[in-house]
Structure 1
Amino acid sequence: MGGCHEPGRKRSLRAAAAAGLVLAALGPGAASAVELSAGGLTFSDELGGFRLLSAAGTGRADDPVVVEEEIYEPAAAVLVIRRSPGPEGRPRAGAFPASGFTLLKRVRNATGRVWAGFDLELEEIEGKPSTYADGLSFDQIARRAPDVRSDRFPRNERLFEPADRIRFRSGHVDPDGVVVFRMQITDPTPTAIFYLVQDPQLLYSGTPAPSGLAGLPACLIRRAGGPPQAPGPGPCGSAPPGPPR
């Protein structure tokens, strides 16, 4: 009788091994995605490239949602954010109100590369820029300037249309360093899911100059995954500038 089941067991073992190979090929994010809930929202690292470590808080200005994570791939990492469902599977009442929520992110640089800047971008549809029409924004219609800041990047620039992006600059984060970002996210017509693209800008040299990044040509800093500059006699593939006039 036992011999009749041997082929089935062998097939099961082969199927399990094949599934393991598929998960390994997809990377650590696919094999062990983490979902954490806070402030009526659920955060996920299912798209890979980084790990969620913790999430807590209500989302109020005096009690922001605090999300801790580490980015280990030198490429844009996409945080998936969902409205937490209620008992019957429908969006929970009060989750992600029109007034929005305050988000504080603590991000560890596990890429082994220096970050010379950091971009954050909202998307209502993955891979498509958020437009004014979809309502999702970093508090774009606020009557007063939103509380947007970072402990490592003292300057930031908010870019609107055709995307909703914050570009943090004038600082750096060393490998294994931690950077903190604070922002508000609003959506008068909230959807069940949206995305926060986290795009560190890498420094070519690997380490900042002793005096920081001031004075470095802009081309020495690139978005993660961006193409390198063509070689040439100047620092950025072009002829060095002449003497001041």
Structure 2
Amino acid sequence: MNEIIKILSKVDGGNVLDAATGKGDFITTLKQHLKSYTQIIGVDSSQRCVDYAQKIFPENNIEIFRMNLEDMQFEDNYFDMVCMSDALHHIKNREKVLNEMIRVLKPEGLMLITEMYCDGEQTPAQETHIIMHHWVASVDRLLGTYHQKTFTRKELQDIIKKMPLKKVQITDFYVPVDDPSKNCPTLLRNCQEIIKRLQTMENTEVLIKEGQELMQRIKDIGYASACRLAITGYKKK
């Protein structure tokens, strides 16, 4: 996590966009660690997430809007910095959304994308995170929500190579965990709730079994946040 803090601490953000902001977790990180910023705008397609984020950011220079990420209602070259954190695997029309992010970013403006990846050197507790994420993604898809498995490190690099960015830097980071068992009770309750819902549906035996195996793994090994990439680059003129 220190790596992403170091990156942000050197950035005068100006007008900042956090695309696919969800409940605003990354806005909190931006607030705490950017060297400076004028305004932060978060956008998300979920009204539930937008309602939540609006309540936790009462500041006048932080605004949250519901918006179609494929057609954002901002002028060209509006933002000095555009971010997306842990959301690429939730984006169905990824190329359209990334093109929109580029469109609203000023020439020479900073793009920052963070995303977990599923390969590389992960601890057993980090592998629990990956397994859990992939299981939840399978459940979401069954329920009609677009949610894909996480990318490999190379897949993320290949996505960025297609974007009109220069001075691209790729940094590995993770959130350190002293005790992999710390958050296990909450995770186990969440898994159990999902399993209960699956038990009311047809043809979910495989997912139920995977969930039960995941719960046992959480008890035996614990959980830690998987490794991520922080990718920065500047929009070409």
Same fold (TM over 0.5): no
Rg comparison, structure with higher value: 1
TM-score range, shorter chain: under 0.3
Instruction: State the TM-score, normalized to the length of structure 2.
Output: 0.28
- Structure ranking higher in strand proportion: 1
- Structure ranking higher in helix proportion: 2
Task: Name the structure, 1 or 2, with higher relative contact order (CA <8 Å, separation 6+).
Answer: 2
